[in-house]
Structure 1
């Protein structure tokens, strides 16, 4: 009886834990429509670099607002609306906006969808659709401008495409079905992967001439070779380096690395058994130089570069900075994980035109807040919320606490927002 009473009154201290916050924006919105574009334009770290160089660097002198909502009654449908207007009334009263209504057949498979966009710029009304069949690894897609003020170019009438996609090969073509044009195919690409090496080629004709002449013109071809590793999940570090010859006139070298690091918690508001927190650090650069001179553009810069880095300190705070040949910028973002979540961002840019500032506001209900507090009914808690950290003070910083499950490639129990983007190259 005494032992029973003693056990009731005694309580062991909770084990030390390491917090793993959610990613601010994963998967990126651009990944939802990746099946509409050649794989060549998204692989080799290009999608990650685009997010690093552009996200939260708001347009100078403007307030940029984005609203992303999904009805609880029908999660297959969502709406993304974007508005931007001047901060200072003296700058004018121009307000730009667009809205995209999207339907997705399977919540876990974003590659089959249809959306309808309305914009105050060209095209005014546009429909896009994609269908991918994993069994055959074949897909078809199309972009059809429905309302355009003036149809000048063949692509103003619509672009269609076919593709094949597997884990190690991606091939496809886009063409303009109407009106019949000698410029088809509009684009063709082939990308292959073996081990950590990825190579790709893209053909996109420009100018006039017969189709055979365009095939022989090296300016219509682009080539890329890249080396990298990583699963595509933000819980895993990734590394990517690539060299691209763009249209036989420019050499582009790019590098991107995503780091998952841990640091000690210095927040007095946290509980005493919280000893560490996981941070996400991203770094990338892009350097381009002309390899074929042009007498008509001798006064133009022959090279350009930009370098950027970001640091997500916790689930609420993100810091980004970049600088390059065109100027430098810094961005701060604060996110509150309500439902829907609200994100405030501030950016400052310094270039040849002086220093300018931008503000951003995002309201979102598309991504779920998969983070931090333990749920005893959820088996995969340790990789994405809280981690038992026995011996963490001894081995602090040497390895992530969720390493065993992630390295085994078992992502099935992870929330959808933390899984790799897919097994399609």
Structure 2
């Protein structure tokens, strides 16, 4: 009886929920893309500006499933279309069937893409050897109604990646035109600075002229602080001169904060919860004065873009279930609310409202997602985020809650030690 009467109360705990979508699905196929197109905060900004912002008066559904018996394969299927019947618009459905060599390493895989639009059937494959840093990949449209552009005949590429360097090139060996390389990039990281250059021969008639034409070259420089783990704050700032005609300035910041919890559904020892707040800004402006017909690429149509535009976005994840996002631009503004239930498979419902400033109308969009690809679990951790096992209850001892002040987050992840946290919450990898 004495031991029961003198039992100490449990120490306070802090809830640490997983991010809604981490790692992003685009990270699974990043070895098929140029590193130049993914670094400088571009991947994070794309997720911030696009995810859960459905097109006005449209719906989208996504199913992402994998069998329990064979985790090396999975299926991602999407169906999207207008909410009201329009003759000029139809419902689009497509699916990816993917095989991955290593469950924990998404860099070696093969997938088949089927759709009711072009391409009807497409195969993609990538093989990467981390020990040597070399990889090869290919994209092969197998069934098409018409083969118009050079990419319709297939694209193959080689790449090398390390922690501080990424270099690669793509070519189209089955194309009738002699275009080699179709794309080439070089990106290097020096401390917190990242610089890169990319070559895409779209302008000019002869090979010699294409190399000398500055409109075929793009360059960028970025400054980044922090890691790509959602448990660590990060900041990225980038400047890009795209094809010598468009200047792009952007920044992205991921903030990790803790707030009080007064939830009657939680235990008394739960005193706080971790929130994730993301900010993003992108400014695009043209720097060339003349626009002639000679500037249009031979094999593709480039839509006209405004001389200057910008967009600002922010998101707030209050807990494991609710996400609020908003973005503002000169042509339109949008707000989105998403609810996620962490069942197996998880279920996500989102609704977004878009205000068209030109027309003066507001439209709504809806989205539904079902997923069991990412198995991030709800965590309880100490204020330093030192997680020992994926589902152990960690005690948050010594946390001090003061009005107007938030505890500083210092942990092993500051030094790059992510071995003890679930794989869904680790950084994307050590490949630039």
Decide: shared fold, TM above 0.5.
yes
Partner of 1:420: 427
Q: Does 1:220 align with 2:228?
A: no
Query: Is the Cα contact below 8 Å between 1:332 and 1:347 reproduced in 2?
Result: yes
Q: 1:39 aligns with which of 32, 35, 38?
A: 35
Judge conservation of contact 2:390–2:421 (CA < 8 Å) in 1: no
- How far the C-alpha of 1:60 sits from its partner, in A, is 1.4
* Matching residue within 160, 170, 175 for 1:174: 170
Listed one character per residue, the Cα deviations across residues 9-47 of structure 1 (whole Å, up to 9, x for unaligned) are: 442211111110011000000000000010000000000
Counterpart for residue 388 of structure 1: 396
| 3-state SS of paired residue (1:129) | strand
- Report the equivalent of 2:327: 322
Distance 1:203 1:185 in 2: 9
- In 2, Cα distance between equivalents of 1:248 and 1:296: 15
* Residue 70 of structure 1, aligned match among 66, 71, 74: 66
Structure 1 segment 8-407 matched on structure 2, within 5 A: 8-89=4-85, 94-179=90-175, 181-294=177-290, 301-351=306-356, 352-353=358-359, 354-372=361-379, 380=388, 386-394=394-402, 397-400=406-409, 403-407=410-414
TM-score, length-normalised on structure 1?
0.93
Q: Is the alpha carbon distance of 1:236 and 1:385 closer, same or farther for their aligned partners in structure 2, counting shifts above 3 Å?
A: farther
1:363 to 1:393, Cα distance in 2 relative to 1, 3 A:
same
Q: 1:78 touches 1:101 (CA, 8 Å); kept in 2?
A: yes
Q: How many Å separate the matches in 2 of 1:379 and 1:348?
A: 38
SS across alignment from 2:320: coil
Q: Contact 2:193–2:224 (CA<8 Å) still a contact in 1? A: yes
Residues of 1 paired with 2:225 and 2:117: CA distance? 39
Q: CA deviation at 1:240?
A: 0.4
Cα distance in 2, alignment partners of residues 288 and 387 from structure 1: 47
Is the Cα contact below 8 Å between 1:21 and 1:385 reproduced in 2?
no
State the alpha-carbon separation in 2 of the partners of residues 150 and 172 from structure 1: 29
Which is worse superposed, 111-120 or 176-185? 176-185
Where structure 2 has 5 or more consecutive residues not aligned to the other structure, the ranges are 294-303
Task: Tell me the SS of whatever aligns to 1:380.
Answer: coil
How far apart are 1:202 and its partner, in Å?
0.2
CA distance in structure 2 between the partners assigned to 1:262 and 1:160 by the alignment: 46
> Hey, what's the Cα distance between the residues in 2 that align with 1:156 and 1:282?
37
Q: Relative to structure 2, which stretch is displaced further, 28-37 or 8-17?
A: 8-17
User: Would the aligned equivalents of 1:65 and 1:83 in 2 still touch at CA under 8 Å?
Assistant: yes
Residues 302-321 of structure 1, C-alpha deviations (whole Å, 9 max, x = no match):
21000000000000000000
> CA RMSD, aligned part only?
2.1
Which runs of no fewer than 5 residues in structure 1 stay unpaired?
none
Instruction: Give the whole-Å Cα distance in 2 for the aligned partners of 1:156 and 1:90.
Output: 29
What is the deviation of 1:295?
5.3
Q: Distance in 2 between matches of 1:222 and 1:65?
A: 35
Distance 1:382 1:142, change over 3 A: closer
Contact 2:376 2:422 survives alignment (8 Å): no
Q: Distance in 2 between matches of 1:19 and 1:296?
A: 58
SS at match of 1:346: strand
Distance 1:84 1:300, change over 3 A: closer
How many residue pairs were aligned? 415
Q: Secondary structure at the match of 2:411?
A: helix
Deviates most, 66-75 or 171-180: 171-180
Q: Which moved more, 1:299-308 or 1:142-151?
A: 299-308
1:266 is displaced (CA, Å) by: 3.1
Matches of 1:336 and 1:91, distance apart in 2: 36
Pair 1:385–1:249, CA change in 2 (3 A): farther
Distance 1:296 1:135, change over 3 A: closer
User: 1:53-110 CA distances to partner (integer Å, 9 max, x unpaired)?
Assistant: 0000012112210000010000000000000133234788821110000000001111
CA distances 1:218-271 after superposition (whole Å, capped 9, x unpaired): 000000011112221111111100100000011100000001011111323222
